[in-house]
Amino acid sequence: MSSKPILMTVDDDPAVSRAVARDLRRKYGSDYRVMRADSGADALEALREIKLRGDAVAAILADYRMPQMDGIAFLEQAMDLFPRARRALLTAYADTDAAIQAINVVDVDHYLLKPWEPPEEKLYPVVDALVELWRATGDRAVEETKVVGHRWSAPSYEVREFLARNSVPYKWYSVDDAEGCRLLEACGADPVDIPVVITADGRSLRNPTGAEIAEAVGLSTQPASAFYDLVVIGGGPAGLGASVYGASEGLRTVLVERQATGGQAGQSSRIENYLGFPDGVSGAQLTDRARRQAQKFGAEVLTARDVVALEERGSARVVRFGDGTEIAAHAVVLATGVSYRALDAPGAENLTGRGVYYGSATTEAADTRGEDVYIVGGANSAGQAAVFFSKYAKTVNLLVRGKSLEASMSHYLIQQLKAIDNVHVRLRTSVEEAHGTDHLEELTLRDANTDTTERVAADHVFVFIGAAPRTDWIGDALVRDSHGFVLTGPDLLVEGKRPVGWPMDRDPFYLESSLPGVFVAGDVRAQSVKRVASAVGEGAMAVTLVHQYLVDGR
């Protein structure tokens, strides 16, 4: 780069523009070049010159309400020139609602209310976050991984989802296209070998496993040590919360994740009721920030490692992986979360990954343009997916088995759905059968109100029904309820008596399982509240109890 990275501010009010630039120079002038413009058009002209000079833009702060070109329209065009620059919107209080609704268009990182006095409390923390995000990726060229596959290939879909959920940039090539065929020929592969993953350094992997992909693209898969203070199993909100608090408080912490950090929350297209994000945040964004936060404090994050056993070995708690290797720790936080229940309809299993998807599957969004999409489920995750896909699909049909949404979905989300013209809620409706050969082609729907069936054309159905804990691998190591959720604390006591075999001269701590030193947080715990905020809170609480266990609980 020929000069310092740039912080740009755009506001049609010269006094405001000068004030923003002044405050930015005061704190960031030694490391960044601050530029200002009085209109979107002037700012775009300046950005084009900056692009030609080869300089970098770290962050752009744009006023929401400007004549000729408002802040949203400007940021849309600015993104074409500097897609990795971070973005913030300046808005008056009266425009807050409109600004929040428009933010989704350009994925703005923050919005700021004017005036922002004192800047130490209102402006600088926002800009600090923007430049930190920018530094994480910089404005360097992205080394892309290439994936060659078929649209209706389930393994191809799984590879794309794995890369996307682990924030690995990749480019998709269809085996039906000329460039996809050329790539296969170049690496000596045939269409039967798909999916083929080609790394940035030119290596090719044919129909690879998640672990093979993780290692090839530089994700950490091998532990740095054989023994830790704390092992966290599961990388959803509860596991990430435990990792952040464990590492920040000085515990040697390792987070082990089977597929990708974030869990079900990481697949959410938009979370709007999480504290501190008034304009909402995507599950992927929240996950990425939490993962980087944990790593900043020194936590290790291992990806594509499947835990198959948990056992007691003296004072150590041992975690065994599917490849036979193991690590041990003084304490364990189990945060494996839950997975969506399978759609109980003939044909659905064979078409999974080929039109039938579990979770939002945002990699499929572009392919739903102009189509009729079906979403099965009546809770928040299904509602968020309906809002997301409404921006792409011709229609979104939300199939709800129950009599109303009010029993399972947040009020704010119900109101959003009512305001979207191409979203249709069908109550007391279920999928009776999925039809298709190479991919999903039709669904048979049953309407319980009339006890009739209807066969509809469908290329995509996204399933969000129920929650099943992934705890079969635990066996008898921990006490579980009849549904597989792990019992902890007071739930382990029967008529006030400690569980059989409990070795400690005390009752189990609140989040402690039937094996002392193994704590449970988030959705996998029996009687837990199935919300992102509560999962994060339980992860933090578990670390407090781990400290108590290490100091005087053993």
What confidence score (pLDDT) does residue 71 get? Answer: 83
Per cent of the chain over pLDDT 90 is: 62
Residue-wise pLDDT for 177-193, tens only, equals 998 998 898 888 988 99
Q: By mean pLDDT, which of 45-49, 253-257, 263-267 is the weakest?
A: 263-267
What is residue 93's predicted lDDT score, i.e. its pLDDT? 59
What's the mean per-residue pLDDT of the chain? 90
Residues whose CB is less than 8 angstroms from the CB of residue 377 and which lie 6 or more positions away in sequence, other chains included: 398, 399, 400, 463, 464, 465
For residue range 392-443, list pLDDT tens digits in order: 999 999 999 999 999 899 999 999 999 999 999 999 999 999 999 999 999 9
Second-level CATH architecture of 227-339+468-553? 3-Layer(bba) Sandwich (3.50)
pLDDT at 139: 59
> In CATH, which of 3.40.50.2300, 3.30.1780.10, 3.30.1490.20, 2.120.10.10 is domain 6-137?
3.40.50.2300
Classified by CATH at the fold level, domain 145-216 comes out as: Glutaredoxin (3.40.30)
Q: Residue 305 is which amino acid?
A: R
Q: Residue 519 and residue 1: Cα distance in Å, rounded?
A: 49
- Is residue 549 within 8 Å of residue 331, measured between CB atoms? yes
List Cα–Cα distances, 550 to 133, 229, 547, in angstroms: 35, 9, 5
pLDDT value of residue 1: 41
Please state, in angstroms and rounded to a whole number, the distance separating the CA atoms of residues 189 and 206: 8
Q: Is the pLDDT of residue 104 over 80?
A: no
Range scoring the smallest mean pLDDT among 48-52, 92-96, 372-376, 410-414: 92-96
**In this predicted model, what pLDDT tens digit does every residue of 497-554 receive, in sequence order?**
898 889 999 999 999 999 999 999 999 999 998 889 999 999 999 999 999 999 876 6
pLDDT score recorded for residue 378 = 94
Q: What is the predicted pLDDT for the residue at 95? A: 59
Closest CA to 75 of 56, 93, 89: 89
The pairs formed by 278-281 with CB atoms below 8 angstroms and a separation of 24 or more are 278/100, 279/99, 279/100, 279/103, 279/108, 279/110, 279/111, 280/100, 280/103, 280/104
The answer to whether residues 139 and 85 touch, using CB atoms and an 8 Å cutoff, is yes
Residues of each domain in the chain carrying CATH 3.40.30.10: 145-216
CATH superfamily of 356-463: FAD/NAD(P)-binding domain (3.50.50.60)
For the chain, how big is the Rg over CA atoms in Å?
A: 25
In this predicted structure, what is the pLDDT of residue 289? 87
pLDDT digits (tens, 9 = 90+) for 451-490: 999 999 999 999 999 778 989 999 999 999 999 999 999 9
Give residue 446's pLDDT: 97
Give the per-residue pLDDT at 238.
96
User: Does residue 278 carry a pLDDT above 90?
Assistant: no
> Per-residue confidence at 362, pLDDT binned at 50, 70, 90?
confident
Could you give the residue range(s) of every CATH 3.50.50.60 domain in the chain? 227-339+468-553, 356-463
Residue 97 reports pLDDT greater than 80: no
Q: List every span in the chain annotated with CATH 3.40.50.2300.
A: 6-137
Q: Would you say residue 54 has pLDDT above 80?
A: no
Q: Parallel, antiparallel, or unpaired: how do β-strands 468-469 and 338-339 relate?
A: antiparallel
The 8-class DSSP code of residue 481 comes to -
Q: Between these two residues, 349 and 142, which has the higher pLDDT value?
A: 349
